[in-house]
């Protein structure tokens, strides 16, 4: 299956406007944003766990990254409520489940083999956040030569200067809205990928909380 699989092209998807698709496990559904492959695939998805649902034990040959959007996601390493960011390095293994139910943004098979350390970050922790001025705050979640992941908090009416992304960038709107490059406003649940060499100028009408990943598409 190929869905928004050409990384040299811009892609914008409103996840709230596409249907939930059943996964191989009962009670687990997903909304596919990008995919290159069948059940084992390079993929970005929003995944929903019904209360009491679980996924079979599995390993991550090329890593897994997720941000908990709602509910509580659990595995052998702990319980992760909304706001937690988790990276499971290539070769890691777990049995995910959720007692109350959960919704997560998941990226699969997008890590290089040299990444070895698994990470858990509570993005609600104020110690992670730095005020960068002009109505914008930033929380660094992961930084390596191959990519950088952070969260942005934009005040109502905020507008960034134009930034250039030599190795591409992705955004997912967790809360609020974005108006990238003065284009149509995208709201919570929207995902946008810009290819290597692109530029962006982010603005927000009502304020926003945004996941951002950069440097990984070149």
Task: Report the C-alpha gap between 86 and 95 in whole angstroms.
Answer: 14
Is residue 97 located within the same domain as residue 152?
Answer: no
- 142: CATH: 2.60.120.10
How many of the other CB atoms lie within 10 Å of CB of 44? 25
Is residue 118 located within the same domain as residue 208?
Answer: no
Q: What are phi and psi of 93, to 5 degrees?
A: -145, 140
Q: Which residues span the domain enclosing 200?
A: 126-214
Tens digits of per-residue pLDDT, 24-41?
Answer: 889 999 999 999 987 777
- Claim: this prediction has a pTM higher than 0.75: yes
Residue-level pLDDT at 91: 85
Residue-level pLDDT at 82: 98
Tens digits of per-residue pLDDT, 59-77?
Answer: 878 899 999 999 999 999 9
Biggest CA–CA distance in the chain, Å, is: 46
Please return the burial class of 78, using the count of CB atoms within 10 Å of its CB with bins 0-12, 13-18 and 19+: exposed
Task: Report the C-alpha gap between 80 and 82 in whole angstroms.
Answer: 7
Is residue 115 located within the same domain as residue 191?
Answer: no
Is residue 76 located within the same domain as residue 113?
Answer: yes
The shares of helix, strand and coil residues in the chain, as percent rounded to the nearest 5, are: 5, 55, 40
203 Cβ contact list (under 8 Å, min separation 6)? 158, 159, 160, 178, 179, 180, 182
* 4 neighbors 12 (Cβ within 8 angstroms): no
Is residue 104 located within the same domain as residue 173?
Answer: no
Is residue 36 located within the same domain as residue 66?
Answer: yes
Is residue 111 located within the same domain as residue 151?
Answer: no
Is residue 175 located within the same domain as residue 106?
Answer: no
Is residue 85 located within the same domain as residue 149?
Answer: no
Task: Report the C-alpha gap between 183 and 60 in whole angstroms.
Answer: 37
199 has pLDDT over 90? yes
List the structure tokens of 37: 């492959």
135-151 core/surface letters (b: 16 or more CB in 10 A; e: else): bbbebebbeeeebbbbb
Is residue 143 located within the same domain as residue 208?
Answer: yes
The answer to the question of residue 175 being in a domain is yes
Residue-level pLDDT at 52: 96
The structural domain count of the chain equals 2
The number of residues making up the chain comes to 218
Q: What are phi and psi of 128, to 5 degrees?
A: -80, -20
Mean pLDDT of 175-180: 94
Tens digits of per-residue pLDDT, 76-116?
Answer: 999 999 999 999 999 888 899 999 999 999 999 889 999 99
Average pLDDT value over all residues in the chain: 94
């Amino acid at each position: 299956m190929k869905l928004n699989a050409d990384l040299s092209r811009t892609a914008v998807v409103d996840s709230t406007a596409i249907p939930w698709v059943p996964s191989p496990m009962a009670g687990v559904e997903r909304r596919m944003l990008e995919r290159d492959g069948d059940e084992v695939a390079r993929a970005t998805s929003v995944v929903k766990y019904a209360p009491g649902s679980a996924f079979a034990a599995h390993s991550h040959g090329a890593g897994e990254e997720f941000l908990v959007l709602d509910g509580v996601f659990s595995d052998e390493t702990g319980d992760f409520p909304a706001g937690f960011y988790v990276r499971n390095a290539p070769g890691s293994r777990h049995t995910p489940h959720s007692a109350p139910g959960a919704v997560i943004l998941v990226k699969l098979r997008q890590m290089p083999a040299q990444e070895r350390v698994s990470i858990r970050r509570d993005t609600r922790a104020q110690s992670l956040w730095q005020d960068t001025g002009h109505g914008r705050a930033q929380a660094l979640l992961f930084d390596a030569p191959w990519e950088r992941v952070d969260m942005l908090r934009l005040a109502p009416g905020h507008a960034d200067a134009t930034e250039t992304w030599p190795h591409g960038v992705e955004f997912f709107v967790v809360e609020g809205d974005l108006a990238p490059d003065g284009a149509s406003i995208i709201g919570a649940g929207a995902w946008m990928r810009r290819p290597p060499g692109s530029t962006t100028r982010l603005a927000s009408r009502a304020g926003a909380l945004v996941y951002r990943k950069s440097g990984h598409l070149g």
